[in-house]
Amino acid sequence: MWRSLEAVHGFSAVGTLWRLELGVEFEPLAANFLRKRTTAASSFPCAVGCGCMHLVVPGGEVAVCQCEPPCCNDITVSPKELVVWELDVVKLGRALSWAFGCEPLHLRLLIPHTVQIGAFSSSATPLFLTTAQGRDEFQETITGLVADSKGPAFLVGWTMRYVDSRCKELLDRAKIQYLDLESYVKIESDGKLVASRPAQEVFERALQVQALPRDDGQHFRVPESVPPQEKILSQGKLRYCPGFNDVWLDDQHFDLRERKKARLCIQYLVENSAFDAGSARHLIDEIDPHVRKVGDFLPSVEIKIDHYFTDKTGRLQKLRKGLIQAAGRNGRFFLKVK
């Protein structure tokens, strides 16, 4: 199925084309992971298999040949046949995450053709899905993911078709394990996705690695025992790893490793269950003294909560506005996680 899915341009086509590619697997895929678009198709695949797409006559139910010169008969098509089905990446990502035994997430990334669909439950290791079609798109994904890598991760893609030696080298150096769905996941008749190997075996084995020097000064990974990491925790729309180095608000990820004030502020409010106006904490009397004591910051003449969330890109201000709410004009703040 996955090789066929990779071949459908843009993951969007009429049912006839999907059936030609998927065969008996079309029905379970359509029932669970395809959705209807509101606009009808403007073209239709040739009935004799010449490879051309027939143009649907506007306002009619006829699709005419586009070959030069025309060599195929016109096709009569019904409105039902012109329904366009497209892949629902969110639903697919959620099902894949469950199949691999991960906690489902859907986080849009700046990396082309890539989303985070989950995190491995015993280690909070990210699970990414690439929807790349073609070698160029796949290499864009690998380049972007490796450049943005902050530690071990898993990347799932349709097949091994575009994984060349250069891609393997880049992924290995970034500690990213690639899993092709063609080898690891199958779809059952009811549309359920099932991993061909136990998820615990797949992920734990891949995580039991560490970098060792080679004679040429490079590194390679060999099996070693690695202590398990913590889970991703959540409070409403806020998700976070213990220590609050990584937090997610809705589907946006924020790396707070170098943003100690923001990190300590959020951590303090979470640990004190400040999730509504009644439990809000005072900035000057409670929040700021804690942040400065734990973070070892000098006292400040002017104290504003916005000062904790400043960066050149403005992303931290987005986190501040989306997560931290003033409880009126009394100087108290809480986390709006609902």
108 and 191 fall within a common domain:
yes
185 and 249 fall within a common domain:
no
276 and 186 fall within a common domain:
no
pLDDT score for 263: 94
pLDDT score for 48: 67
80 and 52 fall within a common domain:
yes
Of 200, 223, 246, which residue is a domain's last? Answer: 223
Q: How confident is the model at residue 87 (pLDDT cuts 50, 70, 90)?
A: very high
219 and 273 fall within a common domain:
no
169 secondary structure, DSSP code = H
pLDDT score for 210: 32
CATH of the domain at 276: 1.10.10
pLDDT score for 224: 36
Total number of domains constituting the chain: 3
The answer to whether position 155 is within a domain reads yes
pLDDT score for 325: 94
> Measured in whole angstroms, how far is the alpha carbon of residue 220 from the centre of its chain?
27
| Helix, strand, or coil (residue 96) | helix
175 and 142 fall within a common domain:
yes
Give the mean model confidence (pLDDT) for residues 239-261.
Answer: 85
pLDDT score for 217: 39
150 and 59 fall within a common domain:
no
pLDDT score for 272: 92
pLDDT score for 333: 96
100 secondary structure, DSSP code = T
pLDDT score for 62: 86
CB 170 within 8 A of CB 164: no
pLDDT score for 251: 67
121 secondary structure, DSSP code = T
Give the mean model confidence (pLDDT) for residues 4-30.
Answer: 85
63 and 99 fall within a common domain:
no
Q: What is the mean pLDDT of the chain?
A: 83
**What is the tens place of the pLDDT at every residue in 266-314?**
999 999 999 999 999 999 999 999 999 999 888 887 889 999 998 877 8
Of 223, 258, 280, which residue is a domain's last? Answer: 223
Burial grade of 296 (CB within 10 A; 0-12, 13-18, 19 or more) = exposed
pLDDT score for 231: 61
97 and 46 fall within a common domain:
no
237 and 218 fall within a common domain:
no
62 and 98 fall within a common domain:
no
Q: With 0.75 as the threshold, say if the pTM is over it.
A: no
273 and 298 fall within a common domain:
yes
The answer to whether position 228 is within a domain reads no
Q: How confident is the model at residue 211 (pLDDT cuts 50, 70, 90)?
A: very low
Of 174, 205, 223, which residue is a domain's last? Answer: 223
DSSP string of 16-54?
Answer: HHHHHHHGGGHHHHHHHHEEE-SSPPSEEE-TT--S-EE
Q: How confident is the model at residue 212 (pLDDT cuts 50, 70, 90)?
A: very low
The answer to whether position 328 is within a domain reads yes
Domain limits at 241?
Answer: 233-335
